[in-house]
């Protein structure tokens, strides 16, 4: 086991001591991931997007989507509570963190940060030196607090048809820059 995979193992153990573990997505997780994904979107504040915009963002998702993205080569890591129930997830591939959502009942406990650090470490271990994230308004401050810099703003057409503001952020990373 190399240094970077050791680091991932250490982060998984650290999470457990805080009441959650991080593990790869399993097909049985798909329904629970769908539920927390929709809940995390709908629960974001009115100060970012209207109720209609959030419903449009959350609409049209299915459990099959997660099976498809994993089959397509994306890595999806799941944060699970001590009873193995998924309470957060993060998808990444090709130098990009593509999704990061934490169950609203479990936010502000370090789960999003732990998932993001896991993804960063895995991308760094695969040779990536700049990580890209496309973010909506609710998570923008979170990513900026973790060193990501906004490079562009655009309009994202949500699956329900309504447009919302979207941002592309990047972070330069080195083999030793994943926070522990
Ligand atoms: C963004 C998200 C993944 C963070 O997960 P989390 O488990 O709550 O995050 P953590 O507990 O690791 O970190 C929370 C910290 O981030 C800060 N934070 C969260 N959202 C923030 C924001 N928009 N702006 C600034 N800081 C933010 C919190 O204040 C807290 O800071 P502290 O550690 O100094 O107290 C989670 O809130 C979420 O799922 N949000 C809704 C969905 C979403 O927008 N996902 C991103 C899609 S691109």
Q: What is the pLDDT of residues 81-131, one digit of tens each?
A: 999 999 999 999 999 999 999 999 999 999 999 999 999 999 999 999 999
Residue 179 falls inside a structural domain: no
CB 27 within 8 A of CB 17: no
Task: For residue 101, give the ligand 1 atom closest to its CA.
Answer: 39
Residue-level pLDDT at 49: 97
Residue 158 falls inside a structural domain: no
Helix (H) / strand (E) element for 60: namely none
Residue 150 falls inside a structural domain: no
Distance, CA of 140 to CA of 148 (rounded, Å): 9
DSSP 110: S
Tokens matching residue 18: 């805080």
Residue 178 falls inside a structural domain: no
Residue-level pLDDT at 152: 98
β-bridge pairing 75-81 and 20-24: antiparallel
From 108, 113, 134, 166, give the residue whose CB has the most ligand 1 atoms within 8 Å, as the site to mutate: 108
Residue 165 falls inside a structural domain: no
Q: Domain total for the chain?
A: 1
Residue 164 falls inside a structural domain: no
* C-beta 142 within 6 A of ligand 1: yes
Residue-level pLDDT at 143: 98
CATH for 27:
3.40.630.30
Distance, CA of 30 to CA of 163 (rounded, Å): 26
* Distance, CA of 142 to chain centre: 11
Tokens matching residue 137: 């308004």
Distance, CA of 77 to CA of 56 (rounded, Å): 25
pLDDT-derived band at 2, boundaries 50, 70, 90: very low
Task: For residue 108, give the ligand 1 atom closest to its CA.
Answer: 11
β-bridge pairing 163-172 and 149-157: antiparallel
Distance, CA of 33 to CA of 86 (rounded, Å): 7
* 30-84 confidence digits (pLDDT tens): 999 999 999 999 999 999 999 999 999 999 999 999 999 999 999 999 999 999 9
From 105, 139, 154, 166, give the residue whose CB has the most ligand 1 atoms within 8 Å, as the site to mutate: 139
Give the domain range for residue 18.
3-128
* C-beta 160 within 6 A of ligand 1: no
Residue 41 falls inside a structural domain: yes
From atom 17 of ligand 1, which residue's Cα is the shortest distance away? 142
From 81, 98, 131, 142, give the residue whose CB has the most ligand 1 atoms within 8 Å, as the site to mutate: 142
Residue 95 falls inside a structural domain: yes
Distance, CA of 79 to CA of 115 (rounded, Å): 7
Tokens matching residue 48: 């970012």
């Amino acid at each position: 086991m190399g240094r970077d995979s050791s680091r991932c193992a250490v982060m998984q153990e650290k999470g457990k001591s805080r009441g959650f573990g991080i593990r790869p997505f399993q097909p049985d997780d798909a329904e629970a991931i769908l539920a927390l994904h929709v809940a995390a979107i709908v629960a974001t504040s009115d100060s970012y997007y209207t109720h209609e915009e959030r419903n449009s963002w959350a609409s049209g998702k299915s459990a099959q989507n997660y099976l498809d993205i994993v089959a397509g080569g994306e890595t999806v890591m799941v944060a699970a509570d001590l009873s193995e129930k998924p309470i957060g997830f993060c998808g990444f591939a090709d130098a990009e963190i593509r999704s990061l959502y934490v169950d609203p009942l479990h936010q502000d406990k370090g789960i999003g940060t732990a998932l993001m650090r896991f993804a960063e470490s895995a991308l760094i271990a695969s040779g990536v030196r700049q990580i890209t994230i496309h973010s909506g308004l609710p998570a923008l401050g979170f990513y900026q607090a973790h060193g990501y810099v906004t490079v562009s703003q655009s309009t994202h057409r949500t699956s329900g048809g309504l447009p919302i503001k979207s941002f592309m952020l990047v972070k330069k990373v080195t083999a030793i820059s994943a926070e522990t």
